[in-house]
Structure 1
Amino acid sequence: MKLVILDRDGTINEDSLEYIKSEAEWKPLPGALEAIARLNHAGWHVVVASNQSGLGRGLFDVAALNAMHAKMHKLLATAGGRIEAIFYCPHAPDQACRCRKPQPGLFEQIGERYGIDLKGVPTVGDTARDLIAGASVGCEPHLVLTGKGEALRGQPLPDNFPPGTRVHENLLAFADHLVRRDSVA
């Protein structure tokens, strides 16, 4: 199975220091929906692993989160793409759970759900914690320079990033890279 694991905020959609709290605030990044469609058309199954501490902080409820995801699914369908599953951590940082990235819990859940070892599975995010979580279970780390990743544009990666992290301008550039690499293999 060809599987890709994506972060959500800052990777697929715009991020906000105030959190994305509603369907109206959820806005796709340019090219992100097309990137997911391109991956799907090349045979990749796409899932999301996302910290959603706004739930644990009481900033929004599960109904609001479901509305955001319904909007994402609808816009993706229009673009010809699909996300198969969304795994999210609902806890606030002080709850010390295992599912909040950089802990590997969400990735372990994905591996269990699909019955696969995640070694070599590409994972994409805009922060070190996204990639640390994936790399801890053997995923191949890819950073996008969108969302919080924009602050790293033109700089060497800090030491807290997993070894071998590849850097891409955005999700569409990552998708192009993966589809190209896959067609050569």
Structure 2
Amino acid sequence: MLFDRDGTLIVDVPYNGDPERVVPLPGAGEAVALLRSLGIPVGVVSNQSGVARGLLTKRQVVAVGRRVEGLLGPFGVWAVCPHGPEDGCGCRKPAPGLVLAACARLGARPSRTVVIGDIGADMAAARAAGARGVLVPTPVTLPGEVAAAPRTAPDLMSAVRLALALPPWDHAVERDGAR
């Protein structure tokens, strides 16, 4: 299972390069611990355009990731895009690159992977990679993103439980906007 970082696992502090400002969202530790207890690999897929914008360094992004792991436990993979929106890379969500790279490093098929995030780009990246998505809306989530999401949950633990209840699939056909 893959998670977006900011706004999904931790409080979104724009362009945060300070590990001391990392605050887990309510239920994040329990949700990730549940997956680990079931032997399900977990990873993080995160756009960090602050690197391209010169607002933080790759070293700071790594330091924040270490703090996240110190608070929530280890993740099997961190797939991070340091590019800006105008760079046209294939890794920046909504492109599938981060999801595909994380799946490859975890040895997981995208078609059996769920991405949990808080914005439409997370859902689009999941869909583009052939994975499933669960949106956990926050105040920054646009109404159109909620309406377009294949499935939504009110909080992270509910999203994990919903993801666990989804039947495994490899070549499912979308029906009514959901897989």
**Same fold, TM-score > 0.5, yes or no:** yes
Assess if the C-alpha contact under 8 Å between 2:135 and 2:146 holds in 1: no
Work out whether 1:20 is the aligned partner of 2:16.
yes
Aligned length: 167
Question: 20-29 or 111-120, which moves further after superposition?
Answer: 111-120
Percent of aligned pairs with the same amino acid: 32
Match of 1:91 among 75, 83, 106: 83
Residue in structure 1 matched with residue 161 of structure 2 by the alignment: 176
SS of alignment partner, residue 92 of structure 2: coil
Match of 1:58 among 54, 58, 62: 54
CA distance in 2, matches of 1:147, 1:139: 25
- One-letter amino acid matched to 1:157: V
CA distance in 1, matches of 2:35, 2:22: 22
CA distance in 2, matches of 1:13, 1:59: 19
Match of 1:130 among 122, 126, 137: 122
Deviations 1:95-139 (Å, cap 9, x if unpaired)?
111111001111221233234431131111101111101111211
Q: Please list every run of at least 4 consecutive aligned residues from structure 1 whose deviation after the TM superposition is greater than 4 angstroms.
A: none
Gaps of 5+ in 2: 168-179
CA distance in 2, matches of 1:40, 1:146: 25
CA distance in 1, matches of 2:39, 2:139: 27
**1:147 Cα deviation after fit:** 5.8
- Which structure would you say has the larger RCO, counting Cα contacts within 8 Å and 6 or more residues apart? 1
Assess if the C-alpha contact under 8 Å between 2:96 and 2:129 holds in 1: yes
Gaps of 5+ in 1: none
SS of alignment partner, residue 148 of structure 1: coil
- Describe the shift of the 1:44–1:147 C-alpha distance in structure 2 as closer, same or farther (beyond 3 A): farther
Assess if the C-alpha contact under 8 Å between 2:120 and 2:145 holds in 1: no
